[in-house]
DNA sequence: CGGCATCCCAAATGATACTG
DNA sequence: CAGTATCATTTGGGATGCCG
């Protein structure tokens, strides 16, 4: 029973509404972080990995491949040994940045009190 | 081992970046849809349910409660029999609408070809 | 160095049924 | 009409190891 009214879709995800599709494309655990890290420069796989505390090897590789499939990032492979691979945002990915800025502002509503008070408490 | 650098959080979700928190708050399977449906008027539970094809009773109730907790929707209970409950966007929820518009535009990149051609195919 | 496969667990979602 | 609870299923993500 497929969704006969789906008008927006990508790779098996289908929605009647473009917004829902967008969110579902961005919803992976690390996708936003990765896009964020690539907002200025392209980066090597290892650079990305060490700039994202807590991400696992598997997830970084997997999410990058999904972002690549979607068309948000582009992958450059240098034919050298040992391998060197760089990732950068595509036009589609760059188009996301202003939206992320807005989401960032919206998220300010949930800022937690900082901990200086606790750390310096007496 | 908690994330000592988390600065944005809500109800157990914690991130160092406001954007990531925002996405995680909106990432539920039906949250965007519900917000979208409430963008103009408040609606009764049953209205929402029948306006969202495929959503289950459980998920609608659950996602509504999460949206309420976050502060995106407000719930009005009329003390009548049978029960009558209405939901509407709060100020925080309304603040999301312009962002959703942008995500909607971005999602246009993934519009599928419509099916008139198929349906009217000979 | 970077990619991929496998196994496993936890979280999210769906189906169904019961309640005021 | 609207809300909860329970159980089954699916999905996402973490750990680990092997490969070119």
Please check whether residue B96 lies inside any domain of the structure: yes
Report pLDDT digits (tens) over A7-50: 899 888 888 888 888 988 988 889 988 998 999 999 999 999 99
Closest CA of chain A from B122, distance in Å: 20
Report pLDDT digits (tens) over B62-93: 999 999 999 999 999 999 999 999 999 999 99
Nucleotides of C under 7 A from a protein CB: 1-6, 12-17, 20
Query: Does B102 contact A105 at a Cβ distance shorter than 8 Å?
Result: no
Among A42-51, A56-65, A107-116, the minimum mean pLDDT is found in: A107-116
| Partners of residue B36 in chain A, C-beta under 8 Å | 17, 19-20
- Residue A97 sits in a domain whose CATH number is 1.10.10.10
Domain count across chain A: 1
Please check whether residue B76 lies inside any domain of the structure: yes
In terms of average pLDDT, the best of A5-9, A30-34, A69-73, B21-25 is A69-73
* pTM assigned to the model: 0.86
Please check whether residue B82 lies inside any domain of the structure: yes
Please check whether residue B12 lies inside any domain of the structure: no
- What sign for the dihedral angle of Cα A97, A28, B25, B31? positive
pLDDT tops 90 at residue A101: yes
Nearest one of B18, B106, B63 to A23, comparing CA atoms? B106
Query: Does A8 contact B99 at a Cβ distance shorter than 8 Å?
Result: no
Please check whether residue A96 lies inside any domain of the structure: yes
Backbone angles phi, psi at A99, to 5 degrees: -70, -40
Three-state DSSP class for residue A84: strand
Cα–Cα distance, A56 to A48 (Å, whole number)? 11
pLDDT tops 60 at residue A118: no
Question: pLDDT band at B114, cuts 50/70/90?
Answer: confident
Q: How many CB atoms lie within 10 A of CB A88?
A: 15
Say if residues B26 and B13 touch (Cβ distance below 8 Å): no
Q: Which domain holds residue B103?
A: 29-111
Average model confidence (pLDDT) for chain B?
A: 89
């Amino acid at each position: 029973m497929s969704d006969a009214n789906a008008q927006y879709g990508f790779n098996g995800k289908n929605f009647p509404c473009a917004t829902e599709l967008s969110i579902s494309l961005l919803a992976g655990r690390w996708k936003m972080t990765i896009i964020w890290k690539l907002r200025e420069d392209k980066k090597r796989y290892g650079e990305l990995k060490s700039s994202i505390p807590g991400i696992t090897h598997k997830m970084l590789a997997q999410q990058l491949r999904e972002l690549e499939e979607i068309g948000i990032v582009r992958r450059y492979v240098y034919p050298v040994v040992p391998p060197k691979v760089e990732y950068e945002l595509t036009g589609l990915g760059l188009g996301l940045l202003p939206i992320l800025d807005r989401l960032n502002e919206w998220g300010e509503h949930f800022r937690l009190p900082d901990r200086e008070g606790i750390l310096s408490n007496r």
